[in-house]
Amino acid sequence: MKIERLLGATLCGLARIITGARAIHHAANGPDTTGGTTIYYANHRSHIDFLLVWAALPPSVRRRTRPVAGADYWLVSPLRRYVALRIFRAVLVERSGGAQAVTDPLAAMQAALDAGESLILFPEGTRNVGDDLLPFKSGIFRLAQAQPGLRCVPVWVENLGRVMPKGSFIPVPLLCALHFGDALCLGDDEARDSFLKRSRDALIALAPTAA
């Protein structure tokens, strides 16, 4: 595991250098470094979104935080498989009906949460190349419903869609920022649509253009 931790730290450093990414905390009490079980949920513009969110976390929190990612992308080669499973310890979900990933993605995510680990999740469910945030899938609600008190922290990733546009392999030198907001929890008897709207609105509110 030592070599994987070293490689992970190296990838974090490279990601920061390439994108100039910096964390901006809008939460009322500043950055949350308690390390409690949390879902960090973000807008999805690039395959390295989760790396920047992961890199922005304190090392002690990062070690117990796992990204949720698409198996169809990360299992296509031995190198990607190694990076996803050994370095990031990703929870891989199948988006295209293949047989290599877990059959019940929510069960795999819930198992990680039950073990006291946190997740990086993209509730839009797919990369978004438009300007508007896509409607949220219900997965984040179902996870919050299954684990009362689970904290969900919105993270708006700024500019990464332009740094790594879809289909690009070479980053464009632009500065990125990650805007962390206040944690929210599912309310008592709160309906799915209400929670999805509230969590989506909290993410949109962090976008610089929302000011």
Q: What is the pLDDT along the chain (211 residues), one digit of tens a residue?
A: 688 988 988 988 887 777 777 888 887 766 665 668 999 999 987 777 888 899 888 888 988 999 998 888 888 899 999 999 999 999 998 765 444 444 678 899 999 999 999 999 999 877 666 667 889 999 999 999 999 899 999 999 886 555 444 554 444 445 678 999 999 999 999 999 999 999 999 999 998 864 4
Architecture, CATH, for domain 2-210: 3-Layer(aba) Sandwich (3.40)
Question: Given the DSSP bridges, would you call strands 177-180 and 151-158 parallel, antiparallel or unpaired?
Answer: antiparallel
The predicted structure's pLDDT at residue 29: 62
The identity of residue 12, as a single letter, is C
**DSSP output for 135-158:** PPPTHHHHHHHHSTT-EEEEEEEE
Q: Which helix (H) or strand (E) holds 179?
A: strand 177-180
Q: Greatest CA separation found in the chain?
A: 47
User: Which among 196, 179, 99 is positioned nearest to 143, based on CA atoms?
Assistant: 196
Q: Which residues of 115-139 are buried (b: 16+ CB within 10 A; e: fewer)?
A: eebbbbbbbbbebbeeeebbebebb
